Amino acid sequence: LETKKLPLFAEAKAFACPIQRLLYQCLILTMTYRRFTELALLVLACLTLVSCVSLRERELQGQFNSWMRRHARSYSNDEFLERYNTWRENMDFIEEFNRGNHTFTVAMNEHGDLTPEEFARLYMGQVSPASEQELQERIAAESAMEDEHHHTRASIPANWDWRTKGAVTPVKNQGSCASCWAFVATGAVEGVRKIAGGSLVSLSDQMLLDCAVGTGNQGCSGGNVEITYRWMISNNARLMTQASYPYIARQSTCRYVPSQGVQGIRNIMRVRAGSESDLLAKAAIAPVTVAIDGSKRSFMFYSGGYYYDPTCSSTNLNHAVLVVGWGTDPQRGDYWIAKNEWGTAWGDDGYVYMARNKNNNCGIASLAVLPCLGSICSTTPNTDTVTPVRPTSLPPAASVSPAPPDSSPSSNLPVAPSGLPVAPSTVPERSSPMPLAPSTVPVRSSPIPVAPSAVPVAPSVVPVAPTVIVVPVVPTIIPVSP
């Protein structure tokens, strides 16, 4: 056949199914040479549809069976069809998404048999202390306040990664327990401990899951990082190591042993709500805990690239991650480096590179907190930003279960003759703490733009904005009720 006589004949390659391509070519031939009757074409069309659907169905079922074996899944007869249909819907989304023009890719992973709603219930545990409307008002007010007060900022590097400075522990896996809040809380403390001059050690997420309850935290049903830090401060609690208090992916009885605690915190700093520039200043001090909207299917199956979803909410915050760095890509723009705790099989070896300076996409700067200890966060509180936390509002300590000696904690914090709890022994720190970001990394000749009235500061100055909020702890040691 000559293509010039059949200009549409070559377009058959647009069909994925080979039988559909054949049908299309037959249709063109019929229209041209009238060799097939309409009835014959109708029969051929029906047979083609059935054949192509069966072929695609067999292919998908084979992929699903392979996926089940890879992830050790087994279902009852009734559940099999339901999970297969969910998996197939997710696979359809992945294939369709990757055909589009995006800055990131998605791929099938171990969560393929879950709907987005099921996934959110099992893996997303960030509980916001405010409603979406209250958070919107706070973002609007604090963003306006930032524009109203022109603050001096130190020069900040164009790229920074706390992983390369030895301040980030390996990616963990929270499992099907919505305990992201506990993992992120310990991750930030691990970072500031190292930066302040201590050793990098994996701290116990399970301790927070078991003990920091009754304060708004709900164990495997979700929690809040800031509430968790307030609990630590008010009870003078010090995190035990992961080795001494391992993770079991479910809430259990509190087994905190004060004498085995290795790291507490002094106070906290909040990032100005909605301000990515303030988040940048805080992330230059140490890794920062952030709350995001992780409910999108695109986040569930994220596999690499720079994550940006314009449908992401800046106030519907349901997941917590740890910002450990930032950078700029010549083609794709600015990004944040965030550590997730869904294992290394998810995302980019357990990390997600999120779009930066994209109007606070996914709310990455809406609820961000940095724990403080030693010389970290040694700034003057700015009371015109957020009302400081009062000691009377701090949550009570969780009860501690009695247990046999040598393996379990005491029933309460030890009490000195004065009636005040005795602070556990501290871990010795190096005399020369780890330098902060701007003092160790070469700064670009033209630093990242800041507010128009900002005054450049020598690179040796620690990049802590004057707007830093330090939550004061009135007494160093706070009495704990029996």
* Neighbour-count burial for 159-177, b at 16+ CB within 10 Å, e otherwise: ebbbeebebbbebbebbeb
- Cα(430)–Cα(198) distance, integer angstroms: 6
* Neighbour-count burial for 417-439, b at 16+ CB within 10 Å, e otherwise: eeebbebbeeeeeeeeebebbbe
Geometric angle at alpha carbon 284, from 433 and 144, rounded to 5°: 140
7: Cα separation from own chain's centroid: 52
Tell the burial category of 383 from Cβ atoms under 10 Å away from its Cβ (0-12, 13-18, 19+): exposed
Q: Taking a C-beta distance cutoff of 8 angstroms, is the pair 375, 304 a contact?
A: no
* Residues present in the chain in total: 482
What are the catalytic residues? 180, 319, 340
Q: Which of 286, 287, 291 is nearest to 273 (CA)?
A: 291
Q: Are strands 333-339 and 319-329 parallel, antiparallel or unpaired?
A: antiparallel
- Cα(238)–Cα(474) distance, integer angstroms: 18
Q: Which of 372, 377, 191 is nearest to 266 (CA)?
A: 372
Backbone angles phi, psi at 470, to 5 degrees: -105, 125
Residue 351's alpha-carbon distances to 202, 304, 373, in angstroms, are 18, 9, 26
- Cα(248)–Cα(179) distance, integer angstroms: 11
Q: What DSSP string describes 36-90?
A: S-HHHHHHHHHHHHHHHHHHHHHHHHHHHHHHHHHTT----HHHHHHHHHHHHHH
- Cα(273)–Cα(136) distance, integer angstroms: 9
- Cα(255)–Cα(221) distance, integer angstroms: 20
